[in-house]
Chain A
Amino acid sequence: MNSKKDFSSPFPAITFPTPGQMMWRRTTHHWGFLLGAGILVVILVVALLAPYLAPCDPYHQDLAHRLINPIWHADGTWSHPLGTDGLGRDYLSRLLYGARISLLIGFAAMSISAVIGASMGVAAGYFGGRVDVVVSFLITTRLALPVILVALAVVALVGGSLPMVITVLGLLIWDRFAVVMRSTTQQLRSADYIYAAKATGCSTMRIIFGELLPNILNNLIVVATLEMARAILLEAALSFLGMGVQPPLPSWGLMISEGKEFMFFTPWLIVIPGTVLFMLVLAINLLGDGIRDITAPEGRS
């Protein structure tokens, strides 16, 4: 008498979008993310293809053709679309190769600081107690140090170069990673699924990497993008002050510094690298904000 019930719904069958599809929709509708990602991809491609795109060797000096105006001036030429700098080097080529330096330094310094800061933050958040006290003390100490001055001091002692800048920055900008990872981990460590994993017999490492990490990853990525932008700006500042990347490397900060002598006569020497620097940092920030909005939409409305 009790035949198997047909449990089909009285409503028409609706396929609900999967979480993956919903995230995709959020991604494609988020103008900030798309804009930031677009600009960043362009700069990345340009940096990778710099040897093919640059019209000249960025280190080649041609003192006979110094300070040629860019193409939009009356006397610009196509052989130097963005003109030449004070030593006759093609500006467009230096700009393209400079992108490599900015991206490399940004990414490398961010990676180093991510490893340092995230491990400290997660350890402090997960274990609490004495580990937390030590890490908090280290964070507070680090926050009390002015980054630029410390970097300047170190570089003045040891000498400036590309690897040096990366190392110094990487060892200095881990604070936000530590703070954010610590608070995120603290929120999640008493979640029931962590207890369930412990009750299953998971080792601590397995819990941290297998259960906790996937849930804090989106925060980590957001902070990583923002710190990358910060590293790029810091490098530009250091190079501008002469304590970062050394000439003749085409760092954008260095280009601004070299151009400041000619600021009132040929302002484009400063404006061009300044503008691309601004755009790169803006793109990275938009990307970071976008990632946060897309991966955690409940934080918004």
Chain B
Amino acid sequence: MSYLLEVKDLQVDLAIPAGTLNAVRKISFSVSRGETLALVGESGCGKSLTAMAIMNLLPRQARCQAAVLSFEGDDLRSFSQKQMADIRGRKMAMIFQEPMTSLNPCYTIGNQLEEAQLRHQKVSRQEARDRAVYLLEKVGITAAGSRLKQYPHQLSGGLRQRVMISMALMCAPALIIADEPTTALDVTIQAQILSLLASLQQEFNMGMIMITHDLGVVSRVADQVVVMYCGQIIESAPTRELFARPLHPYTQGLLACIPIPGRSKRGQHLGSIPGTVPTPVGRLQGCIFRNRCPLAVEACAEQTVNLQEIHARRSYRCLLSPDRAGYNWLEHDEYE
């Protein structure tokens, strides 16, 4: 089966004063056309660095290695900077979190949209402009023609994010990487933008990697979910299965932490995961989650824990068996 993007054993290390930070530790996943993969995790889990590694946009002090990093069959590791710059924007596009800082305030919207296409494809400026108008209308911006002459500061956050989305689509890419695309937006706009992304993905048959910390967003848009913790994939499953039956204690803990209207009793504690995320510097001993896991046993500190596969698209990284009894996260909440 040929995937749009295949990643195997991706590793990203950062040099910091205290040593080497193993920010991403040998993760593997794949995305097909028309599929949405969600990379979920809290801050510091390495999800944004993973996206940067795929696009080869890592900071200078980062080192990246992978067993397989192939896009549409080509090995990305062998690409020169020029070749990468070629596919970035044309075949692979990224939508960033902050619409305020991702658009250049000195140029008009039209200018930036046209440039996105003119850089990669040999079309005339008029053709680029027409495509810009077409895409702006597609993302729901009315009076697209006059919008082209506006500057980013004249638009609201939601509109700017729509412009970002159309900019990403100018060259009809095969893969879109959306890094927290709705975190900075108002909640009523969030659902609109996500629906827009989903329908465009369907229409253009693109693959999408959605990076987010919001499990609510994940449950509504993703086909496959990959949960990351401290640089490792600790669980991977199709969306329905993950939410119906999360296997890893961290996933269970995360789901118990979220306040859900109607579920949590007001005035009572929310479930919480005790402790804080460790800094991944140095050799890992045992399970990466063991210092916060209420189900940890002695073996968790001694053995290296590998991914256990349940079926082709479902795996989790824990020594405990999937049939063990559940844990009531609401009873135990010691915080450090």
Which A residues form the contact surface with B (CB < 8 A)?
A: 2, 4-12, 14-17, 22, 25, 301
Contact = CB atoms under 8 A, between A and B. Distances in A.
Contacts of B286: 10
B222 to A, nearest CB: 28
Nearest to B60: A301
Contacts of A8: 291
B290 interface: yes
B278, B280, B287, B331: residue with the most chain A Cβ atoms closer than 10 Å: B278
A9 B291 contact: yes
Interface in B291-305: 291-292, 294, 301
A14 B279 contact: yes
Interface residues of B, number: 27
Contact of A14 (B18, B290, B331): B18
B325 interface: no
B279 A7 contact: no
Chain A interface main SS type? loop
6 contacts: A2-B331, A4-B334, A6-B291, A10-B301, A14-B18, A14-B19
Contacts, number: 55
A2 B294 contact: yes
Nearest to A26: B17
A194 B289 CA distance: 38
A6 B288 CA distance: 14
B263 interface: no
A25 B334 CA distance: 38
Interface of B: 17-19, 60, 274-275, 278-292, 294, 301, 331-332, 334, 336
B228 to A, nearest CB: 16
Contacts of A15: 18
Contacts of A25: 17
B283 A17 contact: no
Given A4-B334, A25-B17, A10 B278 contact: yes
Most B-side CB within 10 Å, residue of A5, A8, A25, A301: A5
Contact of A10 (B60, B274, B290): B290
Nearest to B17: A17
A30 to B, nearest CB: 15
Nearest to A17: B17
Contacts of B17: 16-17, 22, 25
A301 B62 CA distance: 14
Given A4-B334, A10-B285, A14-B279, 19 more contacts: A2-B294, A2-B331, A5-B274, A5-B292, A6-B291, A7-B336, A8-B291, A9-B279, A10-B278, A10-B284, A10-B291, A11-B281, A11-B282, A11-B285, A12-B283, A16-B17, A16-B18, A17-B18, A301-B60
Nearest to A2: B332
A9 B332 contact: no
B274 A7 contact: yes
Nearest to A13: B282
A9 B284 CA distance: 9
Contacts of B278: 9-11
Nearest to B331: A2
A10 B288 contact: yes
Contacts of B280: 11
A301 B15 CA distance: 15
Contacts of B282: 11-12, 14
A10 B287 contact: yes
Nearest to A16: B18
Contacts of B283: 11-12
Nearest to B336: A7
Nearest to B22: A11
Contacts of A9: 278-279, 291
Contacts of B275: 5, 7
4 A-B pairs with the lowest CB-CB distances in the bound complex, closest first: A9-B278, A12-B282, A7-B275, A11-B282
A7 B18 contact: no
Nearest to A301: B60
B294 A7 contact: no
Contacts of B332: 2
B297 to A, nearest CB: 12
A6 B300 CA distance: 13
Most buried by B among A14, A17, A22: A14
Residue from A2, A4, A10, A301 with most neighbouring chain B CB atoms (10 Å): A10
Contacts of A6: 291
A270 B278 CA distance: 64
B264 to A, nearest CB: 21
B253 to A, nearest CB: 13
Contacts of B290: 10
B334 A11 contact: no
